[in-house]
Amino acid sequence: MSAAETLDRIAREASICVKCALHESRRKAVTGEGPADAEIMFIGEGPGFHENEQGRPFVGASGKFLEQLLAQAGLERSDVFIANVVKCRPPGNRDPEPGELAACSGYLNAQIEAINPSIIVTLGRISMSAYFPGVKITSVHGQMQKVGERFIIPMYHPAAALHQPALRPAMLTDFARLPDQLNEARAALGRRVIERKTIAARQKPETPRQLSLF
Ligand code: URA
Ligand code: SF4
């Protein structure tokens, strides 16, 4: 089965999944979207109101900011795969519970295996905790670490900037480092560059916006 076929199968299964109570608040499952051969995969927390309506990840306010952050790295949404740790909306946007994370983890793990990204960027504490349990995001955000066969970069969740504007400069700076980190990861993993016209041809911004705030 090709990676794209595997991703389709996961999306179909999750759309009718009843493995945890979150299916009760689901209108549309949000399995994720992006190229099946994406070099970078972003993992958020779970669908919010708009994502649940549309069945697509990060389409609300935090999605708008995520797009600005991606632009700091010279990236567009279509260059990367964007997923969540839980595929159905937690009621009232509460944090997913441990049992729900465990119930849903098989889908995400199968997605990661199929896509085989060089870099996983975790967005927020809950997504990070699968790789770095008990670690404080304030002390490790933006730092790339090898975990098994790939590299993990924990980053703040885009929604954090909406509640705490003081985090914005750090988030923009973290994203501006991504192109260099990707080159580092490619070299370390011995991976050839995937010629996606966007990643290869686009220049990263000369100076990240808002750096003047420092
Ligand atoms: N927040 C998330 O973590 N994921 C989404 O898809 C949208 C908002
Ligand atoms: Fe199934 Fe995951 Fe949805 Fe729970 S959140 S019902 S495990 S797809």
Verify whether ligand 1 is closer than 6 Å to residue 46 (CB atom): yes
Q: What is the pLDDT of residue 198?
A: 55
Handedness of CA 190, 192, 193, 196 (dihedral sign): negative
Question: How many folded domains does the chain comprise?
Answer: 1
pLDDT digits (tens, 9 = 90+) for 89-105: 999 999 999 999 999 99
Is 108 contained in some domain? Answer: yes
Contact 72, 175 (CB under 8 A): yes
Is 25 contained in some domain? Answer: yes
Q: CA 187 to CA 182: how far, in whole Å?
A: 9
Q: What is the pLDDT of residue 192?
A: 78
Q: What is the pTM of this model?
A: 0.91
Handedness of CA 113, 186, 149, 101 (dihedral sign): negative
Decide which of 16 and 213 is more confident.
16
Report the SS3 class of residue 67. Answer: helix
Is 210 contained in some domain? Answer: no
The owner of tokens 């905790």 is: 129
Task: Choose the residue to mutate in 18, 52, 87 for probing ligand 2, maximizing ligand atoms within 8 Å of C-beta.
Answer: 87
Confidence bin at 45 (pLDDT 50/70/90): very high
Is 205 contained in some domain? Answer: no
The DSSP letter of residue 151 is E
Contact 131, 125 (CB under 8 A): no
Is 116 contained in some domain? Answer: yes
Q: For residue 197, report the distance from its CA to the centre of ligand 2, in Å.
A: 35
| Beta-bridge partners for 119 | 40, 151
Residue 213 in this model has a pLDDT that exceeds 50: no
Q: What is the average pLDDT value for the chain, to the nearest integer?
A: 93
Contact 160, 127 (CB under 8 A): no
Is 194 contained in some domain? Answer: no
Angle (nearest 5°) at CA 66 between 61 and 71: 135
Q: Averaged over 146-159, what is the pLDDT?
A: 97
Contact 154, 137 (CB under 8 A): yes
Task: Choose the residue to mutate in 88, 105, 111, 126 for probing ligand 2, maximizing ligand atoms within 8 Å of C-beta.
Answer: 88
User: Of 57, 63, 90, which Cα lies nearest the Cα of 159?
Assistant: 63
Is 58 contained in some domain? Answer: yes
The owner of tokens 């089965």 is: 1
Verify whether ligand 1 is closer than 6 Å to residue 58 (CB atom): yes
User: Of 162, 29, 48, which Cα lies nearest the Cα of 88?
Assistant: 29
User: Of 85, 162, 89, 166, which Cα lies nearest the Cα of 126?
Assistant: 85
Q: Please name the residues in contact with 137: beta carbons below 8 A apart, sequence gap of 6 or more.
A: 124, 125, 128, 154, 156
Residue range(s) defining the domain that contains residue 163: 3-189
CATH number at residue 44: 3.40.470.10
Is 34 contained in some domain? Answer: yes
| Beta-bridge partners for 42 | 82, 121
pLDDT digits (tens, 9 = 90+) for 166-193: 999 999 999 999 999 999 999 999 987 7
